[in-house]
Structure 1
């Protein structure tokens, strides 16, 4: 097997948000808030917990890999032959939060999934910013 056959790519998005990490964390980990910006889910912030995201186009099978409240959230993301990992990293930035999302594991033969993820995550980020602007994510 050549090195090129095993190389993978990542979709990375970063945003500076005018909200504290605790508020962003709630939007990333509370199922009713996740549904408002991402998809319906039975997520629970417990390492090893299996959950899924559901949308009209299908579902994504996931498992929580890492939880560090208000700092790091990582889970597998498996759908339509794609085996990837989504990692959220929150860093304080002034009065707000620097949010970084990386979805890693796209193989060279998964160009459509890679492009689709780039488009999809930009849309989800816009939705997330709208949810964060509401009082619903307040403590």
Structure 2
């Protein structure tokens, strides 16, 4: 990859979901649902709320930054030496909702984190789709 050492990288995953934004919002903000598709957590959709995500491989320290019900959600995603931000955008579409996940803040020397996010987020979104299909 070319670029300067100051170049920050971003992972973006978009999915067309056959569900209304309100349903996706619940799956993105209710702790028991987040645990089904992402990780165990103590999330609350309140700006400034600090929470943790935990999995077999470790934990992520987070803080909610933006909460726009049924539209946008962002939080910091900090683990070891990675300082990044995850931003979710929900846009109504003819088929339901265009869901966009963007994780930004990967430094050039953080290729393992970038690779992990590039592989991991599509898997998480696949699991999210399965959770949505089961929800009322």
TM range (shorter): over 0.9
Give the TM-score, by structure 1 length. 0.94
> Secondary structure in 2 aligned to 1:24?
helix
1:85-106 C-alpha deviation (Å, 9 max, x unpaired): 0000000001400000000000
* Structure 2 Cα separation of the partners of residues 44 and 121 of structure 1: 21
Aligned 1:10-25 pairs, distance under 5 A: 10-25=10-25
Residue 41 in 1 paired to residue 26 in 2? no
Deviant stretches of 4+, over 6 Å: none
Partner of 1:126: 126
> Secondary structure in 1 aligned to 2:5?
helix
* Structure 2 Cα separation of the partners of residues 53 and 4 of structure 1: 32
* Structure 2 Cα separation of the partners of residues 93 and 111 of structure 1: 34
Structure 1 residues not aligned, in runs of 5+:
none
Partner of 1:99: 99
Number of residues paired by the alignment? 134
Contact preservation (8 Å) 2:16, 2:95: no
CA RMSD of aligned residues (A): 1.0
In the TM superposition, residue 37 of structure 1 has moved relative to its aligned partner by 0.2
Give the TM-score, by structure 2 length. 0.96
